[in-house]
């Protein structure tokens, strides 16, 4: 027997944005965990990557993407870009009435729960590491945690370009992992939404004793809780829809994005 639709079912979509296609790993978890909700994804591919940019510039781009999603009438926004969330989440939440969720705190929370020796590594872009967002989030949860941040400027562009399993990608991953192995961390946060695509490679390089934290699943869980708490969930007796917008080449987004989403991408609108 199908569930009766709540009288206050909110039919608006949930907005998700990222600098490129990496945030599709977050969207994938949301589609799996919230299959009844509609989603709108915006990839700011014309300005990818955000990682090497100054924080003030990342913040400006994050505001532009958020405004575009607000104009599309979404009910909640997920900042699925670690660089954007690290640089601008607090400012976005202060400036917009639409609920806005980032990927940093869910990942930090999962890492704080997973670590045994309280030694946590963070692999991320330069912008995310410079912002100290993960370091601050982790130590707000447990002041005794030792945090080892490592910037990996080469990884996201290689993965975004489809060069996922090449020797160059492995070399960049090995370079990022080396200081974390030397530090003896037992937990590593994948602080960029592109990195889950190479998690098998990272697992091999780090070894089975190190827990890898992908914030996508934690973020999806948090979004579900917020929707319920605010009474803005969609009716659960339906299958949701998902749409895509890109600021750059739509065909390239569709081709590369399908690997990240692991679901069909039928149409991409230019924005």
Residues annotated as catalytic are 81, 192
d(CA 41, CA 189): 24
Q: If DSSP codes are grouped into helix, strand and coil, which group holds residue 106?
A: helix
Residues facing residue 77 across a β-bridge = 15, 100
Residue 159: how many other CB atoms lie within 10 Å: 27
Given a contact cutoff of 8 angstroms between Cβ atoms, the answer to whether 262 and 27 are in contact is: no
Compute the distance between CA of residue 10 and CA of residue 240 in angstroms, rounded to an integer. Answer: 12
Question: Between 215-230 and 104-114, two packed helices, what is the crossing angle to 10 degrees?
Answer: 120
Residue 269: Cβ within 10 Å count: 12
* Of 118, 107, 83, 101, the residue nearest 212 (C-alpha): 107
Contact 14/223 with Cβ under 8 angstroms? yes
* Contact predicate 183/121, CB 8 Å: yes
CB 202 within 8 A of CB 122: no
Q: What is the DSSP letter of 266?
A: -
């Amino acid at each position: 027997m199908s569930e009766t639709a709540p009288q206050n079912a909110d039919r608006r979509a949930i907005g998700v944005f990222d600098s490129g296609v990496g945030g599709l790993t977050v969207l994938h978890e949301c589609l799996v965990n919230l299959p009844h909700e509609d989603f709108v994804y915006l990839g700011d591919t014309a300005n990818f990557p955000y990682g090497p940019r100054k924080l003030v510039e990342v913040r400006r781009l994050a505001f532009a993407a958020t405004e575009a999603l607000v104009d599309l009438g979404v009910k909640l926004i997920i900042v699925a870009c670690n660089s954007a969330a690290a640089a601008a989440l607090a400012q976005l939440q202060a400036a917009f009435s639409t609920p806005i969720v980032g990927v940093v705190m869910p990942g930090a929370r999962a890492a704080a729960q997973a670590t045994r020796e309280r030694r946590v590594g963070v692999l991320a872009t330069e912008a995310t590491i410079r912002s100290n967002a993960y370091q601050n989030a982790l130590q707000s949860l447990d002041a005794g945690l030792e945090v080892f941040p490592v910037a990996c400027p080469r990884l996201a562009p290689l993965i975004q370009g489809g060069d996922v399993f090449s020797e160059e990608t492995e070399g960049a991953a090995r370079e990022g992992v080396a200081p974390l192995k030397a530090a003896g961390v037992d937990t590593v946060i994948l602080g960029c939404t592109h990195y889950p695509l190479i998690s098998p490679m990272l697992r091999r390089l780090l070894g089975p004793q190190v827990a890898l934290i992908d914030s996508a699943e934690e973020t999806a869980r948090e979004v579900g809780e917020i929707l319920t708490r605010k009474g803005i969930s969609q009716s659960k007796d339906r299958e949701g829809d998902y749409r895509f917008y890109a600021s750059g080449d739509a065909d390239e987004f569709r081709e590369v994005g399908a690997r990240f989403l692991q679901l069909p991408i039928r149409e991409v609108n230019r924005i």
